[in-house]
Amino acid sequence: MPLIASSGGQTGRTSTVSSGCGGGGCHGSSANTATTLRVQQAVDGKISVTPGSQTTITVIVAHATRPAAGVNIAVKTTATSSTAAGTLALIAGEGLRISAGELTHSTPKSFTAGETSFSFTWTAPTTPGTYFLRAISNAVNRDGSPGTADHWNWLAPIQIVVSEASSVNEYSIVDVSVAPVPSHESVSITVPSTSGEKLRISIVDQVGAIVSTNEETASGDSFRYVWDGRRSDGSLAPQGHYIVSILSERRLMKGRAIIIR
C-alpha cells in the first residue's frame, strides 16, 4: 500500500526495515543523512530506568538548510517489531499527538539554529527488560507537497533498559564539555537530566583529591552547574587540571577543567 504524505504526521514508520517516509512516491526512496536525530537523555545509546517509572525523553532533530521537520516516535519490544512497550504521553506545547499508540507531529515544527526538539514522557513497563526507542524525522521545505527536496532519516534505535536500581552494578560513563578551557575563574558544565533527578557534583584535582562537593536536584531535561574555582571552604583552588564529575543514580558524567591563576 502506498504511503500517504501528511503535514499532520504519520505513524508506523519508525522501523529501519520499513520504507520510512519514502515509498509510494512520497519523500524520496531512501534515508538522507543530511537529517540527523539524537536523544538528549541517552548515554552510549542507552537509557536506564526502573520498572513503572515515568521518564521525560527529548528527541532532537537537526538539518542545516530545511526550515522545519515532522517526526514519528515509538517504543517497541524490539528494534524492528510492531509491538508497543510502555506508555507514551504528551507534554503540552511540544507539537505532538498520539496515533495508534505512537507519537507524531501535529504540524511540522520550525528549526532554530538548525535544530528542533520533541519532548514527551514514557512510563516503563513493570516487567524488567530491554525495550527500544525508535524515531524517524522528515526535514521539509514547507512547499506543501511531497518530494525529494524533503530529507528524512531514522534515529539509530535507543535501548531503554528497565531494571531494579539494586540490580545495576555499573554506571554509564559519558564525557562532556567544560567551558571555558582554560579559565581564570569559573567554569560551567551542562549535562542531560530528568526533572527531580538527584545529582552529586565533585571537583577532583590531578592527584585524585576532592576539592569541592555539592548536591543538586535537576529541574528539567538539562542541568547546568557552575564551579567558581574554589574549594569547599571558600578558598581559591590552585591553578591546575581538574575533573568536574556529576553523578546520578545511573550515570557518571565528567569533563576536564584547567584553572590558570
**Per the structure block, which three cell numbers stand in for 133?**
526507542
pLDDT digits (tens, 9 = 90+) for 124-138: 999 999 999 999 999
User: Given this model, what pLDDT does residue 1 score?
Assistant: 33
The residue to which cell 522545519 is assigned: 68
**Per the structure block, which three cell numbers stand in for 207?**
592527584
Q: Please, are residues 221 and 144 in contact by the beta-carbon 8 Å criterion?
A: no
User: Given this model, what pLDDT does residue 11 score?
Assistant: 65
The C-alpha atoms of residue 124 and residue 28 are separated, in whole angstroms, by 35
C-alpha 118: how far from chain center: 10
**Angle 208-213-217 (CA atoms, 0-180°, nearest 5)?**
135
- Tell me the backbone φ, ψ of residue 165, rounded to 5 degrees: -60, -35
Q: Please, are residues 72 and 14 in contact by the beta-carbon 8 Å criterion?
A: yes
pLDDT digits (tens, 9 = 90+) for 204-251: 987 788 999 999 999 988 899 999 999 999 999 999 999 999 998 778
Total residue count of the chain as it appears in this document: 261
Collect the ranges in the chain with pLDDT lower than 50: 1-5, 25, 167-169
The C-alpha atoms of residue 14 and residue 26 are separated, in whole angstroms, by 16
User: Given this model, what pLDDT does residue 9 score?
Assistant: 59
Query: What domains are defined for the chain?
Result: 36-164 (2.60.40.10), 172-259 (2.60.40.4070)
For the chain, percent of residues with pLDDT exceeding 70: 86
Q: Please, are residues 86 and 122 in contact by the beta-carbon 8 Å criterion?
A: yes
Q: DSSP alpha helices (H): ranges in 195-243?
A: none
Q: Please, are residues 19 and 3 in contact by the beta-carbon 8 Å criterion?
A: yes
